[in-house]
A and B are shown apart, each in its own frame.
Chain A
Amino acid sequence: MAGHSSELVSFQLSRLQSDEDGPRIGRLIFQGRDPIDTPHYVAISSRGAVPHLSQDMMRENTSIRALYTAVEDFIEKASLHSQVPPVFNCPTSADESPLRKFIALQKDALLILGTRRIPPLPCPASSTASSISIITSLGVGMLECTDYAEAVQKLRPDIVLGMGDVLFGHKPSVKRKDVMGDRTLAWLKELISAMEDEDDGTPRTALFAPILPIEAEQQSYYVGALQDELRDSVSGLVLYDSASVGAIPENMRGLPRLYLGDATSPHRLLDAMALDMDVFTVSFITEATDAGIALDFSFPALSDANTVGQLPLGIDMWSSAFAHNVSPLLGNCQCYTCTNHHRAFVQHLLNAKEMLGWVLLQLHNHHIVDEFFAGARDSIHGGSFEGERLMFEKTYTAELPAKTGQGPRLRGYQFRSEGKGGPRKNPIAFRPLDDGKEKLAEAALPSSDVDAENLGLQEFAEKLELCNTCSFTVTTQIFLAVCSNRKIFQSIPANVCIVPLNGHLVNGGYIFFVPFVGSFVGSNMTSTTPTKWLKAIQSLIYIQQIFAPLNIPSSLSFISCSHKNLTLKLLDTLNMKIILSLSVLAGLRLASARIGDLTYFSAGLGSCGITSTGNDAVVALSLPMMANGDNPNTNFMCGSQISIRNPTTGQTAEATVVDTCQACALNDIDASESLFSTLAGGLGAGRVPVEWGENILRD
């Protein structure tokens, strides 16, 4: 009989848990790791590293004792190409964790594995009976419960968090709440049986079971099973909402509690501590760092009679007021940054966008949170927690200071802007030189009777190579061009389809498509009917997404596909005219005005993954118009602009596509309330006929 995983972990509370809720201090001891006095925090990693910190920095200049990693950060290659995730293959000695080895985590730190990043990127798809929806660097995918169990067996983290059927970002419906407990229980059992199947019977991983963020009675069956059947397999609990603390069964109250809930400020951490949470993930550390803010708070708050008003929780290091300031970020701070550098340097680094600026802030901010937890433990120990919590609440502002400077250069999929059409996180770093614009203005567009072959001969554009063996459906003969110059579009003939894409995909440019006689290798498509078109376009968007992390600053890019891999070629802006000419040759007409009915709906989180309100000028288009693929969030229509006209009144408006309308006929539009009011003169009409089109740029 295998030993129980719960034997790996012991949790000693310094006082016996009484009935009354109140902060508690304890010590979490995992065999072979440094003990962790609680309350404490777990550092959050991204792809195995604490953002900005190389592993040597983390080891030497932080006191991080526990690291949270997400399975979705490691399995993208497998989910898309049905291969084994590379990390599984990391060679180790028998008692080593491949994951720990892979990410070079020091031996004395506790390694925790969960399903999703913290905070998770909002996921469009919902979970199924056997899987949850995840986002990897290659896009949206499903994480099957069995795959998670396999990952745990292979990766051997110290602690694994049970896969919970938990929604992020919005409240579950009543129906959904019913299945959450059942699914989580089934998944937990699957995980436990997989963990017990380990060959040599020596447990290496301890399991923390989720307590769901729903009312106690709604998860009573699940919790009942936890305390009756699974008690011996569970070493700790994961909570997503401090309110669900009441659902913890009696015989599990002494288990350590990992709190993954909303901890946007130190105040919220203290609230959760007051409700007996033990270990926390603190996402505001990295958020403050990215915003250029040096955290500045301590617990208990240092009382200063002279202070007028509340103190800020951090210092905005972008401020030029620090340019000459050679004092440390904080006077008595013992962190690496404060003992080796000064404010002027950090201010300079941020200002010069040098990566070291964020490194130094990240070290400091982790130290501040370290000290904060140490202070809280002392305070609980001394019995003065509640009073000091109130004092802290009074002393400091409720929220972190607003960000004034720019964040670090954004690398990677984890920094996508919120939905297409959302604001850029950083302004565009590069722009064409002015003389380029002049040249462009002077350049005559080729006349429409120039054929593509001649243009090719003049070496304006490289010829596209044909693609025979691409693994996804890629067209052989479609040109994709991206342009950020609005002016050009005013001279495009009306028979070219233009789709503006304001999202991150193409750097705020526009995308337009020039079909030749279509022929799609992957799906045997031979005609160019509009729906098949959409499929083709989606393929192209997919390609574009792969290239998106490159942050192409150019005003024009071609995508071509060669035998084995895709290549992206940047061409000069002047080459835009070739595209124009080719598009004329293609003679496609897609952008003519459509006529349909306008109705209204109450806007919220739409199929594009964008949350909007009734006051936003947003629309949902019909199912066939949207033609959503596997991931509706990446639908190229999302974020595109349409213009709508009410022919009866002559009223026009522009709107952004954010959702799919299930009940609409092909050309119908479902609009937000404010937009409907604008066009129909109030909500009374309910349904009015309108004309609309995507080609608003040529009005």
Chain B
Amino acid sequence: MSTSSKSPALEFEIIAKCSTTKARASILTLPHGPVLLPMFMPVATQASLKGLTPKQLARTGCNLCLNNTYHLGLKPGQDVLEKLGGAHVLQGWNGNILTDSGGFQMVSLLKLAKVTEEGVRFLSPHDGTPMLLTPEHSISLQNTIGSDIIMQLDDVIATTSPDAERMREAMERSIRWLDRCIAAHKKPATQNLFCIIQGGLDLGMRKVCCEEMARRDTPGIAIGGLSGGEDKVSYCQVVNACTNWLPQNKPRYVMGVGYPEDLLVSVALGADMFDCVWPTRTARFGNAIVPTGNLNLRHASFANDFATIEADCKCPCCRPEEDGGLGITRAYIHHVAAKETAGAHLLTMHNVHYLLSLMGRVRAAIVEDRYPEFLRAYFSKAYGGDMTRVPTWAVTALREVGVDLLNWR
């Protein structure tokens, strides 16, 4: 089977595969440079990664971030984006950008959004007038934004919805909307349209959707509709099943995933790209991501903790001064958390760096074909050496792909 693919604006090449799990290491070459997969993509919702400059973001190791179409459509608006020449120009970012379709925000942020065959009806948050987001409109907006990867408009409903009929309708409609998106896409030579697999937790529906969408041969494929409150076991089943059905030679993006454990398991199940607002959001609440979990640095116990946020971390905050870093201590973050925005900026840098470097180490482990060992070491550290504390869903999912955390070799 082919391990590479080429589209006018994208090249994808798998350079290593884990011999045990389904994990892959690959290079995704986009109009604004190559991206090493697997990768976590931080979310710069409104063309800014929460207080960080594009240079600071690049320094965390990031060269592919998200913007939200819905937010950019509201501010600064399509007209401004058109005149400026897109989101790269707007934010002074020379890396790659991925935009979502805007459909998810319509449903998650807006009350009274209603989905019809035409598109998503919603009330304008500005003045309450009824508006309609169609696949054509979404693609037109994303064409204006000029993002390197654009997403189709899909019909998103919660995976936990018990209404199988509605779920099927959403899945089938997403396929019809994909066709409309492909037809409306004006810049296939510079922007890559990814389809989004729907079908809830019903593997039968997911299979139909995978087959139908794979036939459309988009440059990349997203698995959507997850991270909406479903249990982790179902989540893993869906990802595991979809990666079996999807073509090997296309990048696979699981939307809305960002917890370290979820990332590691999803990579083992064959996914390549992820995004989530959690690392940046939790930073603003004073939480630092570290190998042993989360540290809520606002807690009084950190007032006198003069260790760096994470020992051996290479981010600008944690690196010691001798090493060109700042040597920021937990005590200092405690001192500024929720009192000065600089504290939020520092933690945002650390958290984004943490996830990107985690994925870098994941990639190195895949390339060296020691990903199972990597998984074991990570979970062991996270749970203080006691593998029985590792969540059952993770143990089960990893067992499916040949890694048994509890009975090692």
Contacts and interface: CB of A to CB of B under 8 A. Distances in A.
B215 interface: no
Interface string B309-353: 000000011000100001111011011101111111110010000
Contacts of A359: 51, 53, 345
Contacts of B290: none
B32 interface: no
Contacts of A413: 339
A47 B340 CA distance: 7
A92 to B, nearest CB: 9
Nearest to B325: A56
Interface string A96-122: 000001111001000000000000000
Nearest to A408: B341
B53 A49 contact: no
Contacts of A50: 342
Nearest to A414: B339
B89 interface: yes
B80 A324 contact: yes
B328 A55 contact: yes
A349 B339 CA distance: 21
Given A51-B342, A104-B326, A324-B83, A340 B306 contact: no
Most chain A CB within 10 A, of B111, B335, B338, is at B335
A316 B204 CA distance: 57
A347 B344 CA distance: 22
A14 interface: no
A51 B341 contact: yes
Given A47-B340, A340-B55, A323 B76 contact: yes
Contact of B92 (A107, A345, A433): A345
Interface string A332-357: 00001000111011011101101111
B147 to A, nearest CB: 16
Nearest to B327: A104
Given A56-B326, A351-B75, A356-B52, A412 B306 contact: no
Nearest to A91: B306
Contact of B53 (A323, A340, A351): A340
A77 interface: yes
Contacts of B338: 411-412, 549
Contact of B346 (A51, A55, A549): A55
A326 B335 contact: no
A48 B53 contact: no
A340 B94 CA distance: 11
Interface in A62-104: 74, 77, 86-87, 89-91, 101-104
Contacts of B49: 356
Contact of A412 (B111, B340, B345): B340
B339 A53 contact: no
B345 to A, nearest CB: 4
Interface residues of A, number: 54
B46 interface: yes
B157 interface: no
A103 B321 CA distance: 12
A348 B343 CA distance: 23
Contacts of A345: 47, 90-92
A218 interface: no
B295 interface: no
B84 interface: yes
A608 B33 CA distance: 60
Nearest to A101: B327
Contacts of A326: 84, 89
Contacts of A411: 338-341
B141 to A, nearest CB: 16
A103 B317 CA distance: 11
A90 to B, nearest CB: 6
Given A104-B327, A340-B55, A411-B338, A89 B75 contact: no
A137 interface: yes
A408 B83 CA distance: 27
Nearest to A341: B92
A54 interface: yes
Contacts of A435: 111
Interface string A496-537: 000000000000000000000000000000000000000000
A356 to B, nearest CB: 4
A645 interface: no
A336 B48 CA distance: 16
Nearest to B90: A345
A349 B47 CA distance: 8
A645 B331 CA distance: 55
Nearest to A59: B326
Contacts of B329: 90, 102
A348 B336 contact: no
Contact of B344 (A74, A87, A340, A355): A355
Most chain B CB within 10 A, of A340, A354, A412, is at A354
Nearest to A565: B300
Nearest to A551: B338
B16 interface: no
Contacts of B326: 55-56, 104
A52 interface: yes
B306 to A, nearest CB: 6
B303 interface: yes
Contact of A340 (B92, B342, B346): B92
Interface in A137-174: 137
A311 to B, nearest CB: 28
Contacts of B75: 348, 351-352
Interface string A383-424: 000000000000000000000000010011110000000000
Contacts of A554: none
Interface string A183-222: 0000000000000000000000000000000000000000
A372 B331 CA distance: 36
A51 B343 CA distance: 10
Interface in B127-159: none
B56 A56 contact: yes
A356 B92 CA distance: 12
A358 B306 CA distance: 29
B84 A104 contact: no
A91 B306 CA distance: 7
A12 interface: no
A631 interface: no
A57 B53 contact: yes
B166 interface: no
B370 interface: no
Given A49-B340, A102-B329, 19 more contacts: A48-B336, A57-B345, A86-B304, A87-B331, A90-B331, A102-B331, A104-B321, A104-B328, A324-B84, A345-B92, A348-B47, A351-B75, A352-B47, A352-B75, A354-B46, A354-B50, A356-B52, A359-B53, A411-B339
18 contacts: A51-B340, A51-B341, A52-B342, A86-B303, A86-B304, A90-B329, A90-B331, A102-B331, A104-B328, A107-B321, A324-B83, A345-B47, A348-B75, A352-B46, A357-B48, A358-B341, A411-B338, A413-B339
Interface of A: 46-57, 74, 77, 86-87, 89-91, 101-104, 107, 137, 323-324, 326, 336, 340-342, 344-345, 347-349, 351-352, 354-360, 408, 411-414, 433, 435, 549
**Which 9 pairs, one residue from A and one from B, show the smallest C-beta to C-beta distance?**
A355-B51, A49-B342, A412-B339, A54-B345, A356-B48, A352-B46, A354-B48, A104-B326, A348-B76
